Amino acid sequence: MTIQIGDIAPDFTVATTDGTLSFHEWSDNSWVFFFSHPADFTPVCTTEMGKTASLSIDFECRNVKPLGLSTDTVEEHLKWIEDVNDTQNTTVEFPIVADEDLKISRLYEMIHDHESTTQAVRSVFIIDPEKRVRLTMTYPMNVGRNFSEVLRVIDALQLADEKQIATPADWQPGDKVIIPPSVSNAAAANLFPQGWDEIRPYLRETHV
Ligand code: BEZ
């Protein structure tokens, strides 16, 4: 069954580089950046692991816990982490799931048969503190993800929750935001006392 935006992220208990982890309990009150990669000791994956580690402060200040996954073993992950730290000049501190039996990859539909029947593609699930899936992205094996985009969508989701707004194309923190059509002008007057520009009745922009 496809996991859709708004679904509760399926729970699981699994071996990781930090010991056995029960997903819902581990995520606690944090957001989660849950991401899969095809295999340890491969070049694109090595750069992605290093990048995630180097952004640890950026994730932490957004209350986000990264969680990696591949179908390799804990032992392989731990050996590979040494390489990642060495080559990417960083320290991997977040857990990586060892999904040897493909149970979680299958549960989260990270195995795409035309890419591989034994290795995961590059899936991303952004999960909120209520355990709801808020965003999914899927990249093929040979294209590394854009981590600026990962942080940008987390910022957009968190701001949308806090301020009842939506974000326009290519939005960056500090840019104008959109008042959603579901918010009437009367409600908007309370929510956005600073006012807004009405480009069309359905397209209202403001700063928050
Ligand atoms: C890589 O991480 O470089 C990679 C892994 C699997 C297939 C293609 C690339």
84 CB under 6 A from ligand 1? no
pLDDT at 1: 74
pLDDT tens digits, one per residue of 155-176: 999 999 999 999 999 999 999 9
Q: CA Rg, the chain, in Å?
A: 19
Contact 109, 2 (CB under 8 A): yes
Residue nearest to atom 1 of ligand 1 (CA): 44
CA–CA gap between residue 85 and residue 109 (Å, rounded)? 29
Please tell me the total number of residues recorded for the chain in this structure: 208
Which of 9, 14, 45, 127 is the catalytic position? 45
- Centre of ligand 1 from the C-alpha of residue 119, in Å: 10
pLDDT tens digits, one per residue of 73-124: 999 999 999 999 999 999 999 999 999 999 999 999 999 999 999 999 999 9
- Centre of ligand 1 from the C-alpha of residue 38, in Å: 6
Domain boundaries, the chain: 13-145, 164-206
pLDDT tens digits, one per residue of 20-67: 999 999 999 999 999 999 999 999 999 999 999 999 999 999 999 999
Q: Where are the beta strands (DSSP E) in the chain?
A: 13-16, 19-22, 31-36, 64-70, 96-98, 122-127, 133-139, 177-179, 197-200, 203-206
Strand bridging mode 19-22 / 13-16? antiparallel
Q: Which residues have C-beta within 8 Å of that of residue 177, sequence separation ≥ 6?
A: 159, 163, 165, 166, 167, 168, 171, 205, 206, 207, 208
Residue 45 annotated to the active site: yes
Contact 40, 80 (CB under 8 A): yes
Q: Which CATH number fits domain 164-206: 3.30.1600.10, 3.30.390.50, 1.10.1040.10, 3.30.1020.10?
A: 3.30.1020.10
Mutate which of 35, 45, 112 to test ligand 1's pocket (most atoms within 8 Å of Cβ)? 45
120 CB under 6 A from ligand 1? no
Q: Which CATH number fits domain 13-145: 3.30.950.10, 3.40.30.10, 3.40.50.300, 3.40.50.11540?
A: 3.40.30.10
CA–CA gap between residue 167 and residue 148 (Å, rounded)? 16
pTM over 0.95: yes
pLDDT at 200 over 90: yes
